[in-house]
A = this chain, B = another copy of it.
Amino acid sequence: MKSLWSETARELSPYVPGEQPRIADLVKLNTNENPYGPSPRALDAMRAASVDSLRLYPDPKAADLRDALATHHNVKPEQVFVGNGSDEVLAHAFVALLKHPKPLLIPDITYSFYPVWAQLFGVETETIPLDDNMQIQIDDYRHDAGSIIIPNPNAPTGIALPRSEIVRLLDAQPNIPVLIDEAYIDFGGESTVPAIANHPNLLVVHTMSKARGLAGLRVGYALGDENLIDALTRVKDSFNSYPLGSVAQAGAAESVRDEAYFKDYCSRIVTGREAMTRELTALGFEVLPSSANFVFARHPDRKGKELAAGLRERAILVRHFDKPRTTEYLRITVGTEDDTQRLIAAAADILNSD
């Protein structure tokens, strides 16, 4: 019956997201969600938008949300593109900007959805290995190419590049689109957004699922020169005119306006990450230097797979990527203090067992 499928559908290798089990008393450190709730003002705005006017289509241009984001990031509303999670924004960017006759440069260890979009949309890729310290080296991205995508901080390593390194890349590659995926930038990284003014080939993508604590709402966005935003809008308007519902637009806009909550929230995660790193290190883990809301860590005495399984038996979910260079590591989300205590206790228990 696969004869009814298109060739594309037959050949795909879909992305596999982290599990979303709804198990009571589970310590869920596998999908980099925020352990605290979103801004209460955002929730109020969503409830206020859950009214009869939902009978109307939402604003296809999401003007209010884009205004709020433009103000927050000090850019023009015309430099903002919004979508149904940063995954949709990235998917449109693959079609609109990253697909060229020459290949897209992509790190070998990175967000595992990138190669899936490349396959879906027929984007040729060239994989660039991280160095031996699991770091991105900008000099490896200076040769002839069609486009570049780099997450900063990278996932799942959590390691960030300083803005000066990204700018050095932009200066070396001024004629091709360079996409910097800043999903995790708000936990201590240095955003490249200020470079948009002088680099018309730079697109920066953000999500509201991490630092904004709104993974359940599905809102992401891109910032860049108006010309790049126009290309994204053309693809969006050829795919789905109304990707963001009215409730999502209202909640996201109010979240962006609640600057105080956001800053407090991010600083709590940074504090939690530092504590988690200290305690894991004390147990003998090697923890990569993270600027994200997760750490990437391995232990010299135990296999990654074994550690992940042991934690799971103790009702603690972490993410394990079973690929050659990552198989010894666990990606562990920074949760609450209590989450971290339970994680550390469980890890100690595993390390003390035979």
Contact = CB atoms under 8 A, between A and B. Distances in A.
Interface of A: 1-9, 12-18, 20, 28, 31, 33-38, 43, 46-47, 50-60, 84-85, 87-88, 91, 95-100, 116-117, 119-120, 175-177, 200-201, 209, 213-218, 225, 227-228, 231, 233-235, 237-248, 251
Contacts of A96: 5-6, 8-9
Contacts of A201: 4
A124 to B, nearest CB: 12
A31 to B, nearest CB: 6
A316 to B, nearest CB: 16
Indicate how many identical chains form the complex: 2
Contacts of A245: 216-218, 245, 248
B6 A239 contact: no
Contacts of A13: 238
Contacts of A244: 218
Nearest to A200: B1
Contacts of A31: 56-57
Contacts of A243: 84-85, 88, 218
B33 A43 contact: no
A243 B52 CA distance: 23
Contacts of A38: 52, 54-55
Given A1-B200, A4-B227, A217-B245, 17 more contacts: A4-B177, A4-B231, A8-B96, A9-B95, A13-B238, A17-B242, A18-B57, A34-B55, A36-B52, A37-B54, A46-B46, A46-B50, A58-B218, A84-B84, A95-B120, A216-B247, A217-B246
A18 to B, nearest CB: 8
A120 B241 CA distance: 14
